[in-house]
Amino acid sequence: MEQSDKYLHPYTAAPSYQKCVAYFCMEYAIAQSLKLYAGGLGFLAGSHMRSAYILRQKVVGIGILWKYGYYDQVRQSDQTMGVLFQEKIYTFLEKTSIRFEITVNRAPVQVGVYYLPPLLFGTVPLFLLTTDLPENDYLAQTISHKLYDVDKNARIAASVLLGTGGFKLLELLNLAPDVYHLNEAHGLPLVFSLYAKHGSVEEVRKRVVFTTHTPEEAGNEKTDIHLLHDMSFFSPLSLDQARLITKTEGDTFNHSLAALRLAKISNAVSRMHREAVEKNWSACEGTSPIIHITNAQNYYYWADKPLYDYLYSEDDEMLVARKKELKRQLFEEVADQTGDMLHQDVFTIVWARRFAGYKRADLILEDLSRFLQLLHDTTQPVQIIWAGKPYPMDYGGISVFNKLAHLSTKHPNFSVLVGYELKLSKLLKQGADLWLNTPLVTHEASGTSGMSAAMNGAVLLSTADGWVPEFIQHGMNGFVVPPVAPTHPLHEQNMTDARNILHTLQHEILPMYYTQRDKWLSVVKNSMRDVLPYFDSNRLAHDYYEKMYNA
Average pLDDT over residues 44-59: 98
pLDDT tops 80 at residue 5: no
Q: Do 250 and 315 share a domain, yes or no?
A: no
* Helical spans, DSSP H, in 238-390: 239-246, 255-262, 271-281, 299-302, 305-312, 316-338, 368-376
Q: Do 237 and 271 share a domain, yes or no?
A: yes
Q: Shortest CA distance to 79 belongs to which of 390, 334, 404? A: 404
Q: Do 410 and 420 share a domain, yes or no?
A: yes
Q: Do 293 and 329 share a domain, yes or no?
A: no
pLDDT tops 60 at residue 178: yes
Domain range enclosing 158: 4-10+18-297+539-549
Q: Residue 392, Cβ neighbours under 10 Å: how many? A: 23
Cα angle 170, 176, 182; round to 5:
65
pLDDT digits (tens, 9 = 90+) for 64-100: 999 999 999 999 999 999 999 999 999 999 999 999 9
Q: Do 162 and 227 share a domain, yes or no?
A: yes
Q: Do 109 and 229 share a domain, yes or no?
A: yes
Which helix (H) or strand (E) element contains residue 115? strand 107-116
Q: State the pTM of this model.
A: 0.96
pLDDT digits (tens, 9 = 90+) for 98-123: 999 999 999 999 999 999 999 999 99
Q: Do 312 and 269 share a domain, yes or no?
A: no
Distance, CA of 123 to CA of 540 (rounded, Å) = 15
Average pLDDT over residues 282-295: 94
Average pLDDT over residues 44-73: 98
pLDDT-based confidence at 218, cuts 50/70/90?
A: low
Q: Do 469 and 453 share a domain, yes or no?
A: yes
Residue 236: cis peptide before it, omega within 30 degrees of 0 = yes
pLDDT tops 60 at residue 517: yes
Q: How many domains does the chain have?
A: 2
pLDDT-based confidence at 2, cuts 50/70/90?
A: low
pLDDT-based confidence at 282, cuts 50/70/90?
A: confident
Q: Do 85 and 214 share a domain, yes or no?
A: yes
pLDDT digits (tens, 9 = 90+) for 9-38: 999 999 999 999 999 999 999 999 999 999
Per-residue pLDDT, 485: 87
How much is the mean pLDDT over the chain?
96
Q: Do 342 and 413 share a domain, yes or no?
A: yes
Please answer whether residues 141 and 129 qualify as being in contact, where contact means their C-beta atoms are separated by less than 8 angstroms. Answer: no
Residue 328, helix vs strand vs coil? helix
pLDDT tops 60 at residue 3: no
Average pLDDT over residues 541-550: 98
Distance, CA of 105 to CA of 227 (rounded, Å) = 9
Average pLDDT over residues 203-227: 90
Residue 182, helix vs strand vs coil? strand
Per-residue pLDDT, 1: 45
pLDDT digits (tens, 9 = 90+) for 121-168: 999 999 999 999 999 999 999 999 999 999 999 999 999 999 999 999
Q: Do 123 and 202 share a domain, yes or no?
A: yes
Q: Shortest CA distance to 169 belongs to which of 124, 125, 123? A: 125
Q: Do 29 and 88 share a domain, yes or no?
A: yes
Q: Which CATH number do you get for residue 197?
A: 3.40.50.2000
pLDDT digits (tens, 9 = 90+) for 465-486: 999 999 999 999 999 999 998 8
For 255-293, the DSSP string reads HHHHHHHH-SEEEESSHHHHHHHHHHHTTSTTPPPEEE-
CA distances for 325 relative to 61, 122, 306, 313, 426, angstroms: 37, 27, 11, 19, 14
pLDDT tops 50 at residue 523: yes
